[in-house]
Structure 1
Amino acid sequence: MPQNQTRGRINLDPESAENGLAELVMTVIELLRQIVERHAIRRVEGGTLSDQQVEDLGVALMDLEDKMEELKEIFGLDAEDLNIDLGPLGRLM
């Protein structure tokens, strides 16, 4: 089909749909990870956490970042793939 006839049509290729869904889900997870990380940093800087809580939080955030890297590799994504434009807020990363 010539290129101009494919405009306005939905691409039903299962592989591209799976990749698009993986990218969307990973972007949402990355957004939530960054929000949690910023909140955690505020709590640490606020001094409301015990030393053990700070340690546990640091380990959990590192583990989460490692898992994100693993998932990006599995789905063939890089950081730029997840760097969506949030409009007036700017880019995600």
Structure 2
Amino acid sequence: MFENAVANLALTGEPAERAAERLRQASAHWLRHTAGSHMMDRQVDLRYVRDNLGHASISTTSQYLHADDDDRHRATESGLKLNW
């Protein structure tokens, strides 16, 4: 799959070379990590993600928690508003 993507990028010329180089380094683990990240982004229960990925520890799975900076800022700001 990655080789096909690299080949298609090569057809687009030099602007896509950086993306093609990145894909040449890709692995099946990338797909696994991406799946875990997407599950967390869609707020799948952390325990289910842990079980789906076969982790023994919930702390290993917690690495897939990615808070968007803007979302984190909004949540923090709303929690700290002063009602003057």
The answer, yes or no, to whether TM exceeds 0.5 is no
Give the number of the structure with larger relative contact order, counting CA–CA contacts within 8 Å between residues 6 or more apart.
Answer: 1
TM-score normalized by the length of structure 1: 0.33
TM-score normalized by the length of structure 2: 0.36
